[in-house]
């Protein structure tokens, strides 16, 4: 009996159209796999971790709207994540000194301890994630990621224009 060859990404990606489809779907697949792995082995979800990491990158406690822009999601999503992190003691939501209507995300001692832990394991995480890449490939991937972000912005503009066209009908 003839044994079937397993379908691999390398074998499937032969035509440019197929490669584009595979890259597009692959973005979602990679995101799902990263979420599942991170959520399975860490004390907080990957989205909560992202909020903590982005928040820690600011010199002063950021407001929710600023975090939302940096994370690429809505203010409402960030607030929901922040409220859950506040409940377990990683952050404190406080009114902004500059605008009493805005909420700032301030790290608690527990949040700082977690941030220190994540900083300690970052090199190991990066080694596991990028171990098959050369330094040149990592730099190229970074450049291509920037282009992909521009493409995502174009995609949003496309859908906004589509929606505008539907509203005019």
Is residue 89's pLDDT more than 60? Answer: yes
- pLDDT more than 90, % of the chain: 70
Mean pLDDT throughout 132-140?
98
Mean pLDDT throughout 121-132?
94
Q: Which CATH code fits 44-109?
A: 1.10.10.10
Is residue 169's pLDDT more than 60? Answer: no
| Confidence (pTM) | 0.78
Name the residue ranges covered by the structural domains of the chain.
12-41, 44-109
Could you tell me which of 88, 84, 87, 53 has the C-alpha nearest to residue 67?
Answer: 53
pLDDT in tens, 35-44: 999 889 888 8
Is residue 152's pLDDT more than 90? Answer: yes
Is residue 158's pLDDT more than 90? Answer: yes
What was the pLDDT predicted at 64?
Answer: 96
Mean pLDDT throughout 42-59?
91
What gap in Å lies between CA 115 and CA 120, rounded to an integer? 9
Q: Are 12 and 22 in contact (CB under 8 A)?
A: yes
Q: What is the DSSP letter of 90?
A: S
Q: Any residues with CB less than 8 A from the CB of 70 and at least 6 apart, and which? A: 54, 57, 62
């Amino acid at each position: 009996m003839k044994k079937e060859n397993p379908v691999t990404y390398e074998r499937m990606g032969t035509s440019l159209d197929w490669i584009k489809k595979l890259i597009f779907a692959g973005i979602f697949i990679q995101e799902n796999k990263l979420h599942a792995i991170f959520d399975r082995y860490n004390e907080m979800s990957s989205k909560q971790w992202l909020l903590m990491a982005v928040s820690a990158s600011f010199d002063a406690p950021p407001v929710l709207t600023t975090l939302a822009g940096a994370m690429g999601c809505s203010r409402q999503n960030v607030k929901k994540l922040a409220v859950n992190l506040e409940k377990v003691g990683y952050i404190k939501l406080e009114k902004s000194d500059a605008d009493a209507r805005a909420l700032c995300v301030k790290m608690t001692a527990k949040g700082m301890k977690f941030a220190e832990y994540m900083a300690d394991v970052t090199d190991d995480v990066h080694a596991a994630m990028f171990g098959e890449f050369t330094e040149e490939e990592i730099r190229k991937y970074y450049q291509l990621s920037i282009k992909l972000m521009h493409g995502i912005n174009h995609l949003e503009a496309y859908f906004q224009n589509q929606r505008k066209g539907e509203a005019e009908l």
